Amino acid sequence: MLNLSHEGLKRVAGITFWVQTKNVKRSIDLDDDLAADIDRAATLVREKPATIMRLAIRAGLPTVTNRFQAPRPEGYFKDAYPLPDDRLQLEKAMSKVVQRPER
């Protein structure tokens, strides 16, 4: 059973305090067009503008970071996952078989 005494509430609050991060809030400057786009998206999705901004940052952050990384050489993963000879023969044979949709 849950202990709701004063001491029990102190213990629960002490545990949740350590889970929270120090830098929860950030502030950014938005131009008028971007603010209007966020408001339109918030109206469309029916979420708060802060939620829309978090979703947009999470979706777009990998794109931004990938832009500044060096491109991987051609065939980077080719040596990591070699296909066995029997698999290559099977794929070659299956490419010659005519496949039609079943009706």
Query: Whole-model pTM?
Result: 0.45
Measured CA distances, 58 to 9, 19, 22, 34, 96 (Å): 34, 21, 20, 17, 44
In a domain, 47, yes or no: yes
Task: Establish if 52 belongs to a structural domain.
Answer: yes
pLDDT value of residue 16: 46
Structural domain contains residue 49: yes
**Is residue 4 included in any domain, yes or no?**
no
For residues 52 and 42, is the Cβ–Cβ distance under 8 A?
Answer: yes
Q: Per the domain annotation, does 48 fall within a domain?
A: yes
> 13 pLDDT exceeds 80?
no
Q: Is residue 15 part of a domain?
A: no
Provide the number of structural domains found in the chain.
1
Estimate to the nearest angstrom the gap between the alpha carbon of 83 and the chain centroid: 30
Q: Please give the pLDDT value at position 26.
A: 74
* 17-50 tens-digit pLDDT: 444 556 667 788 888 998 999 999 999 999 999 8
Q: Express each pLDDT in 46-67 by its tens digit.
A: 999 989 999 998 999 888 888 8
Q: Domain range holding 47?
A: 29-68
